[in-house]
Amino acid sequence: MTPQLEIAIAAFFLGIGTAGAPLEALRIFIAAVLCVVVWRSGKFVGSVAMIAVIACAYLQHNQFRVTSLVAAAVLGILAHFFYRRPRATTVIMALSAITGLGFLFLG
């Protein structure tokens, strides 16, 4: 898996997780499309991941939430600083998936 794909998966889970329930299929599809844009963004992966998380959460509820803004900022910073490290993006992806699913099911 490439680092861009791992960050895109992290953005998807964080965006959907911070958006919360109820999940709608069309909005999940739009979130997935945004994350494909993250995957193809190249060296701007951190900034595009931040925008994708915020957009995913906004599309779900038509409002900005503090949790999605904080999660987007953390993901963007981690993606920017650890992008070239060998296993760092895998760890970021795993932590983001766990955090996003935790937000979704516990929040």
Domain chopping of the chain, boundaries: 3-103
Report pLDDT for 43.
66
Per-residue model confidence as pLDDT tens digits over 8-52: 777 777 777 776 666 667 777 777 787 777 777 766 777 777 777
Q: How far apart are CA 98 and CA 12, in angstroms?
A: 12
Q: Per-residue pLDDT averaged across 72-76, rounded? A: 79
pTM above 0.75, yes or no: no
